[in-house]
Structure 1
Amino acid sequence: MEMLCTLRSATEAQHQALVKAPERLQDFLDDEEDFSDLQGVRFLELDIGESWHGLQYLMTGTPWEGTAPLDFLVRGGEDVGDIPSDEGTARIFKPAEVKKLSEALHALSQDTLKRRFDAGTMQELDIYPGHWDDPPEDEDPLEELVSYFAELRKFVSQVAQRGHSLLVHIG
């Protein structure tokens, strides 16, 4: 089973609706009409696929720990209730937390990420998806992670500028 990560902006009303009715997570992710923003503001979404764990490692230097706010892909935020196991996990971060995250991502250089990349160590630490030291022939895992990091930084900045919450869903 693949474990993919999707990030999505959420208005305050959507944030509260998800916390109160976590069983509606899939409706929110599927963009059901009753989760749409009444003010006509379109949600933002970023799919970082399987790169989430590699990014976690490069941003924090650890597979499952790290210091907030950069550990946000695997920790922190508010759990969105009891989600059925086949839907994975979801956590939501408040606008003030998103702003701090945006600042931390902008302070983190791509050179730092590149220095932390070590395919052998990532393989030993069982960083998902687990083919770091033997990637498919047409892939450069470091290049892919750095590219996703740039997208992630831009995305979180846009969510922060809107003053929205941030949902992190891995499933």
Structure 2
Amino acid sequence: MEMLCTLRSATEAQRAALLQAPEALEAFLDDEEDFGDPKGSAFVELDIGEAWHGLQYLLTGTPWEGAAPLDFLVRGGEDVGDIPSDEGTARVFSPADVQALSAALQRVTEKTLRARFDAPAMQARDIYPGTWDEPEAEVDPLEELVSYFEELQKFVASVARRGEALLVHIG
């Protein structure tokens, strides 16, 4: 089973509604823009696919730990719950958390990411998807992670500028 990661903005009203009614998470993820928000604010979304665990490793140097807020892809925020149809989970971060995360991501340099990339070590530590040292890869995994990181930086900065919350869904 593929484990993909999607990040989505949420208004404060949507964040509160999800925390009150976690069973509605699947409906929220199915593009119901006005979920829990009478104004029907449009969301922004970023799909980082299978890159989430590699990014976690490059941002924190660890597979599942690390210091907040840069460990946000696998930890932190408030647990919204499980999604039965895709066996995934979701966590939501407050607007203040998103502000701190955006600032932290802006301080991360490409040089730091490149220095942390070690395909054999990532393979040995079971960093998903586990294809880091395949010689016949169509795309250079490091270049792909750097590209996703740049998109992630821009996306989180955009959500922070909007003053919104952030939902991280892996499933």
TM-score range, shorter chain: over 0.9
1:16 aligns with 2:16: yes
- Could you say if the C-alpha distance between residues 44 and 64 of structure 1 is closer, same or farther in structure 2, counting changes exceeding 3 Å? same
Contact kept, 8 Å, 2:33 with 2:40, in 1: the verdict is no
Name the residue aligned to 1:102.
102
Name the residue aligned to 1:51.
51
Name the residue aligned to 2:132.
132
Contact kept, 8 Å, 1:135 with 1:141, in 2: the verdict is no
- Once the 2 structures are TM-superposed, how far is the Cα of residue 32 of structure 1 from its aligned partner? 2.2
Q: Distance in 2 between matches of 1:168 and 1:36?
A: 18
Name the residue aligned to 2:41.
41
- Could you say if the C-alpha distance between residues 52 and 13 of structure 1 is closer, same or farther in structure 2, counting changes exceeding 3 Å? same
Name the residue aligned to 2:88.
88
Identity of aligned residues (%): 73
Name the residue aligned to 2:32.
32
Deviation track 1:110-157 (CA, whole Å, cap 9, x = no partner) reads 110000000000000000000101054311000000000000000000
User: Amino acid of the residue matched to residue 70 of structure 2?
Assistant: L
User: Amino acid of the residue matched to residue 105 of structure 1?
Assistant: L
TM superposition score normalised by structure 1: 0.95
- Could you say if the C-alpha distance between residues 121 and 12 of structure 1 is closer, same or farther in structure 2, counting changes exceeding 3 Å? same
TM superposition score normalised by structure 2: 0.95
Q: Distance in 1 between matches of 2:63 and 2:85?
A: 21
- Once the 2 structures are TM-superposed, how far is the Cα of residue 8 of structure 1 from its aligned partner? 0.2
Q: Distance in 1 between matches of 2:36 and 2:144?
A: 32
- Could you say if the C-alpha distance between residues 36 and 22 of structure 1 is closer, same or farther in structure 2, counting changes exceeding 3 Å? closer
3-state SS, counterpart of residue 111 of structure 2: helix
Q: Distance in 2 between matches of 1:20 and 1:66?
A: 29
Name the residue aligned to 2:78.
78
Q: Distance in 2 between matches of 1:152 and 1:33?
A: 21
Q: How many residues align?
A: 171
Name the residue aligned to 2:67.
67
Calculate the aligned-residue CA RMSD, in Å.
1.5
